[in-house]
Structure 1
């Protein structure tokens, strides 16, 4: 096996825009990458002493805005976007840089996480995925109420989906369900709920967070993360309560507060194992003065160590 240095010791970040909303139920998330740029994502990271390159936007097919066919909407278009996302993320990891994939809708994570899983297999790393989302995203063509592929990425990555998507990373399934920790979930479709239980996904829903607090939630979600772990964070902007992050396509009331979200990011940063990141589902068409993108950038800074005080190491 090849060896890698500590993921955060490289301080080399690659921003990759993926302006597609082909997997979503409403248009607008294709503008997410530019919203993040307008909110200052690159200078924010540079201010933390990081080496940052913006690779611009990937190219893919337009959104045809068709009806569902065979249980999927826009399968060909979503597959094409996921392939280019996979290739870009995989190539970035090969260059020993940390990819930040800026979506775009959450179906794009099928491409990014397939690439990360492939990378981990090649380097003998354990993979842990934190899926920060209001939704479980564990639908299949048989149980989906809409056919929108942004509601299916976790299921597809676990091997439940069309061949063209489940085989993206060269191995099927790309990941086992055991690598996922779903955090902040508060909207699950009826059929999806049964499938989540059947597959034994680790889900820390909002009731769990309400009853136990974000600190205890993150301690459990991060348990077992060590020096051999590649930590991937897939952040859906609707993870946050829509009162402070209205710029999303599928808002669900009752999400984490600003401080809960900050604590979540700070505890991820404390592990030092962050190796790759998705920022998905920002929808400027639903936003107010780009405040949701600005909040995403603020949280991103916490992922890279921003805190109120320098903390003493015990």
Structure 2
């Protein structure tokens, strides 16, 4: 398999310093050599460069670094679209906000190929807040809502060429979901398997059921 490594040195969405070192840490740990040792062809595309930030003002005064995250999302989405043309893109980062660009960019690629995109979201949090509902203001909590076309992002984040169908999303391993997110997930039709479900059923049958849906539609 041809793999493309793309670094996304973002830290603006997390509200704390250090996430931008994630790509370098993973490279230093030997990710590229390990992938090559498994027989994959590896291309390292280096790091995404942030697009120029434009002034963006929103009514939710809690929001932090909105112009910066919007600019990062635009740059990462374009790179994700390019990197997924004829290879498996692997994005390196430490800030969840990069998923707004990675998922939306790959969704655009899938649409161009006429294939549905499924998202398996493995996280303790669903990151399904909108710009209106987040109370922390940290924009690492909004990427899945944005990439799936939820309301409230137009004019603030880049326009979506293709949204991910929420029915094609499975959020697994959740343990901390805010009330606004819980309601939004249910209304959107996202499949949710929290830690209680995993404790009761085990991860294997839940994962098999989702992968069977992916195989059926592809």
Equivalences for 1:267-286 in 2 at 5 Å?
Answer: none
Q: TM-score, normalised by structure 1?
A: 0.63
2:45 maps to which residue? Answer: 55
Match of 2:202, SS state, is helix
Rounded to whole Å, the distance in 2 between the matches of 1:191 and 1:153 is: 15
Rounded to whole Å, the distance in 1 between the matches of 2:74 and 2:6 is: 14
1:144 maps to which residue? Answer: 134
Kindly state the Cα deviation for residue 167 of structure 1 after the two structures are TM-superposed.
4.7
Q: TM-score, normalised by structure 2?
A: 0.89
Task: Label 1:55 to 1:149 Cα distance change in 2 as closer, same or farther (>3 A).
Answer: same
Kindly state the Cα deviation for residue 197 of structure 1 after the two structures are TM-superposed.
2.0
2:93 maps to which residue? Answer: 103
2:188 maps to which residue? Answer: 199
2:200 maps to which residue? Answer: 211
Match of 2:32, SS state, is helix
1:237 maps to which residue? Answer: none
1:12 maps to which residue? Answer: 2
Kindly state the Cα deviation for residue 127 of structure 1 after the two structures are TM-superposed.
1.2
1:251 maps to which residue? Answer: none
Q: Could you tell me whether the CA contact under 8 Å between 2:74 and 2:158 is conserved in 1?
A: no
Rounded to whole Å, the distance in 2 between the matches of 1:148 and 1:187 is: 15
Q: Could you tell me whether the CA contact under 8 Å between 2:70 and 2:157 is conserved in 1?
A: no
Task: Label 1:101 to 1:112 Cα distance change in 2 as closer, same or farther (>3 A).
Answer: same
Unmatched segments (≥5 aa) in structure 2: none
Kindly state the Cα deviation for residue 104 of structure 1 after the two structures are TM-superposed.
3.5
1:190 maps to which residue? Answer: 179
1:77 aligns with 2:75: no
1:128 maps to which residue? Answer: 118
1:88 aligns with 2:84: no
Rounded to whole Å, the distance in 1 between the matches of 2:149 and 2:33 is: 38
1:220 aligns with 2:202: no
Kindly state the Cα deviation for residue 141 of structure 1 after the two structures are TM-superposed.
2.5
Kindly state the Cα deviation for residue 200 of structure 1 after the two structures are TM-superposed.
2.5
1:283 maps to which residue? Answer: none
Q: Could you tell me whether the CA contact under 8 Å between 1:159 and 1:166 is conserved in 2?
A: no
CA deviations on 1:91-139 (whole Å, 9 max, x unpaired) are 1122x11111111411111111111111111111121110111101111
Rounded to whole Å, the distance in 1 between the matches of 2:216 and 2:37 is: 26
